[in-house]
Amino acid sequence: MNAAAEDPEIDLMKEVISLCKQRGFVFQSSEIYGGLKSCYDYGPLGVELKRNVMNEWWRAVVHERENVVGLDASIIMHSKVWEASGHLAGFSDPLVDCLITKERFRADQAPRPGAGEEILLTCADKGQAKTYQKAIAERFSVELERQGKSLRGLRVVDAETFGFFPPEASEPTATFSFRGYVSPTVGSPFLSEERQFNLMFRSQLGAVDSLDEAAAALAGKNLPAEEIRKIIDEKMRESAIYLRPETAQAMFVQFANIQQSLALKLPFGIAQMGKSFRNEITVEHFIFRSCEFEQMELEYFVEPGKHAEALEYWRQERLNWYLRFANDKSKFRVRQHEAQELAHYADKCYDIEYEYPWGWGELEGVASRTDYDLKKHSEHSGVNLKYFDQEKENPETGKKGAHYFPYVVEPAAGATRTTLMYLLDAFAYDSPRPDAQGKVKRRRVLKLHPRLAPYKVAVLPLVKRDGMPDLAREIVQEFFRNGVNARYDEQHQIGKRYARHDEVGTPYCLTVDGQSIEDNTVTIRERDSTNQERIKIDEAFAVVKARLEGA
């Protein structure tokens, strides 16, 4: 059990975010300019950890399987891809603005008071309450009663109406149309129309500036705002390109090329990892939900009818993969989607969930995507993406050889979200104990699985003299030659260096001391137990390698 997660005094999320900055895992993007909301940079330790997560995924999903191959497609694809996939039409959230507070929020996630319930506006402070009271009076001609930072007097009449009820009144003196929900922060029912907001980032490809074209189309015309918007949107769309919101689509679009160039037979998979972009309305919990993130997705193609079995197989495989590197296995669960939760392309879906500090949330979706995508891309591109199965009997001719659209099972994971999850899982405080000076302290340690740890081993000369740095550097070189990420570290006294490496999850520290010069031995210290033993320098690489492999 993660000691930090158990201790109610510790705000685990705050501690992890602070460690990430202090130790070079994750920084706020463009921090010196005030930061860019929801964009993050992975520092020297973070890039190693994230790559290790992604390499382990690639190893388990591609390299250790005969029938899965990889793809690294461009992020920018033909805009017709997104038309066919349904992202241009359906990948949008219904957004609403509060007319008083200007808060913009998702209508489908807003609080919904029922008929007869009071609509209580709760402001940040008394000053804000006064401002909003005045704005409501000016715009809607009702004087709400101010009590501290609350504004009272509104009540839901029915599904479509809310009213203003002066104190003691049983009938409203004014009524307004009710959208069925209120703004999440203040609880205001004074709302704009819903607008669909596309989550894909749009840009332009090519030398033609579509703004010039839009300006030319609008010149001299006196049109209402809505018309102007429509014309600009049309002009922009003509040369629009989109940053991909998922890595999945390229694997459908390149299905025929990949299948034919490698003569692949069903069942087989195509895997891809890389950046995806979503203009998320709600960005939250550090790197859990950001606008730029990384995904690790597999499209596993099977004969129709074999998809249910494949779905169960991948659900278990993927859960096992997470558990393999986790300390606290009780924080994982699998939840099947309710019918109304299913994406438009799926007939069944599981979420692998993790218990984050704020509650259970998605880590990965494992979906049965039917033949939706291949069919859609065939329709929109005019290219036949059916698979030719030599073994299968054609029902029309009775002869061997049938064309059909394969079904797809898709385990879709987030690499950046998984990185956060393993940081949360690994963060721990040991029980308090006295240090060398007798001060009782708690050791902060990142109990990352050795395969995920940014550095596998740190080599530390006890002091910066008497040949110890040279010998330590020779040992580091030996690890480098063998492809193991080792770190030479001579800054500060040895206790501080151990603490530093505990905090970034380095599983082993090798210390070169006076005795090393005489008898060619070093001490090896193990991160979690802090136990130390002496080993021969000649055997150091083999010892660390064996321990890493056994982990």
For ligand GAP, the binding residues (CB under 6 A) are 246, 248, 278, 280, 289-290, 293, 295, 297, 362-365, 410, 412-414, 416-417
Q: How far is the CB of 359 from ligand GAP (least distance, A)?
A: 16
Q: How far is the CB of 145 from ligand GAP (least distance, A)?
A: 41
Between the alpha carbon of residue 99 and those of residues 95, 104, 189, 513, 532, the distances in Å are 13, 9, 9, 70, 65
Q: Give the three-class secondary structure for 413.
A: strand
CA distance 486 to 502: 14
Q: Identify which of residues 56 and 489 has a Cβ nearer to ligand GAP in the complex.
A: 56
Q: How far is the CB of 1 from ligand GAP (least distance, A)?
A: 24
Burial class (CB in 10 A: 0-12, 13-18, 19+), 240: middle
DSSP 8-state secondary structure symbol assigned to residue 387: E
Q: Identify which of residues 188 and 416 has a Cβ nearer to ligand GAP in the complex.
A: 416
CA distance 63 to 243: 28
Q: Identify which of residues 93 and 410 has a Cβ nearer to ligand GAP in the complex.
A: 410
CA distance 546 to 551: 9
Q: How far is the CB of 461 from ligand GAP (least distance, A)?
A: 41
Q: Identify which of residues 2 and 295 has a Cβ nearer to ligand GAP in the complex.
A: 295
Q: How far is the CB of 417 from ligand GAP (least distance, A)?
A: 4
Q: Identify which of residues 23 and 278 has a Cβ nearer to ligand GAP in the complex.
A: 278
Q: How far is the CB of 114 from ligand GAP (least distance, A)?
A: 31
Q: Find out whether the peptide bond into 507 is cis, omega within 30 degrees of 0.
A: no
* Residue 427, both tokens: 């963060």
Backbone phi, psi, residue 240, to 5°: -75, 145
Residue least distant from ligand GAP (Cβ) = 414
Annotate 32-45 with b (16+ C-beta within 10 A) or e (fewer).
Answer: eeeeeebebebbeb
> Which of 443, 461, 451 has the alpha carbon at shortest distance from 513?
461
Q: Which residue has the tokens 């705050």?
A: 14
Q: How far is the CB of 410 from ligand GAP (least distance, A)?
A: 6
Q: How far is the CB of 385 from ligand GAP (least distance, A)?
A: 18
Q: Identify which of residues 133 and 276 has a Cβ nearer to ligand GAP in the complex.
A: 276
Residue 154, amino acid:
L
Q: Give the three-class secondary structure for 423.
A: helix
Burial class (CB in 10 A: 0-12, 13-18, 19+), 320: exposed
Q: How far is the CB of 364 from ligand GAP (least distance, A)?
A: 5
Q: How far is the CB of 415 from ligand GAP (least distance, A)?
A: 8
Question: What stretch of H or E contains 516?
Answer: helix 514-519
Q: Which residue has the tokens 């300390």?
A: 327
Q: Identify which of residues 179 and 369 has a Cβ nearer to ligand GAP in the complex.
A: 369
Q: How far is the CB of 215 from ligand GAP (least distance, A)?
A: 34
Residue 446 in contact with residue 423, Cβ under 8 Å? yes
* Residue 192, both tokens: 């704009």
Q: Identify which of residues 385 and 460 has a Cβ nearer to ligand GAP in the complex.
A: 385
Q: Which residue has the tokens 């005045």?
A: 134
Between the alpha carbon of residue 60 and those of residues 55, 272, 320, the distances in Å are 9, 13, 11
* Residue 235, both tokens: 């002009």
CA distance 518 to 520: 6
Q: How far is the CB of 346 from ligand GAP (least distance, A)?
A: 9
Q: Identify which of residues 156 and 363 has a Cβ nearer to ligand GAP in the complex.
A: 363
Q: Identify which of residues 302 and 402 has a Cβ nearer to ligand GAP in the complex.
A: 302
Residue 489, amino acid:
D
Between the alpha carbon of residue 17 and those of residues 34, 86, 116, 285, 410, the distances in Å are 17, 36, 43, 10, 31
Q: Identify which of residues 246 and 371 has a Cβ nearer to ligand GAP in the complex.
A: 246
Q: Identify which of residues 79 and 295 has a Cβ nearer to ligand GAP in the complex.
A: 295
CA distance 367 to 399: 33
